[in-house]
Amino acid sequence: MAGTRAAIRYAKAVLSLALSEKKADKVNDDMKLIANTIANSEELANMLGNSVVKSDVKKAAISAIFPKLNTISNGLLDILVTNKRIDLLNQVAKKYSVLFDAHNGKETATVTTAVPLTSALEEKVLAKVKALTNKTVELESIVDESILGGFILRVGDKQFDASISSKLNKLKREFTLN
């Protein structure tokens, strides 16, 4: 929990600096690259989280992996290494992208369905979510057969659960209470 709060603080500081220097887009590209690379490399994630590996070795590895980062992104790496918080790099990168999107009025909506969405249905969901939030929405679709049918829509911190499994669980609770 404390790591998440620290990551948010670092991300807010970097966003503030990037906005003031009008480099927020470039820094966002760097943060997405960093988050994707760490997510796809278990070795890199383990190395960053390993307390036995020295900070200067971690910094050298990150610099070798990401040689063309923006000066603001490099400054973030330096601060994280200096403060011995380089293990937060992945979280900071993810939080930065979320804050950047929020600053630009974008939001990600997650739709979980039992079967893949058709393109027509996806457009309808996007239109409805955009009407509800008044923001530009990017739709992330997840297929989870365990919900049996219906859908679960998550936008920000709000969730609408219209899945069959949820309704069955509700019925089960009602019958066991009575």
For residue 167, is pLDDT > 70? yes
Q: Is the pTM above the cut of 0.85? A: no
Helix (H, G, I), strand (E, B) or coil at 103: helix
Check residue 22 and give left, alpha or beta (phi > 0: left; psi -120 to 50: alpha): left
Q: How confident is the model at residue 36 (pLDDT cuts 50, 70, 90)?
A: very high
What CATH class has 2-102? mainly alpha
User: Domain segments of the chain: what residues?
Assistant: 2-102, 106-177
- Pick from 105, 106, 75: nearest CA to 13: 75
The amino acid at 49: G
Residues 157-166 pLDDT 10s:
788 888 999 9
